[in-house]
Amino acid sequence: MDARDTDLKKELDATLHARRELGEDYESALVDSFLEKVDQRIDEAVERRVRRQLAEQQMQTARDTRSPRVTDSWGERFGFGIVSLVLAVPLSAIGGGLAQLPGLLVAWAGIVGVNVAQAARTNPNLFGRRPKSSREGGWED
């Protein structure tokens, strides 16, 4: 039995004892007083639960904001592709101008490598890798 239940039982016993002593004239006042105490207990319990749930939600939100997120939005991919192509022009000119075909190939290998790394970062399943799960052992429940 909970300590709060014991206190409530004592309150009920005291209310019943007071009713026996005072008579039926004060019955409604005693019942109202007891019900007020019960309402107060219920309100306190509800408030504790709400506070606990709010704290849990805040903790979950804090965990979510701290964990790194990989965004795979269309705008990010499109923007990265545009920037990559814009930078490809001067890099191609510099590589081709300084070292002809080998310089051009090295420049484009770098451009392709950066784009592949970006694609792998935003799409973990792209190259057949499985996303990390909480169960590393592979056992199913």
> Which amino acid, residue 22?
L
- pLDDT tens, N- to C-terminus, the chain (141 residues): 567 678 888 888 888 888 888 888 888 888 888 889 889 989 999 999 999 999 999 888 887 765 555 555 778 888 888 999 899 999 999 988 999 999 999 999 999 999 888 888 877 777 775 555 544 554 554
Could you give the CA distance from residue 107 to residue 95 in angstroms, rounded to a whole number?
6
Helical pair 27-66 and 3-22, crossing angle rounded to 10 deg: 160
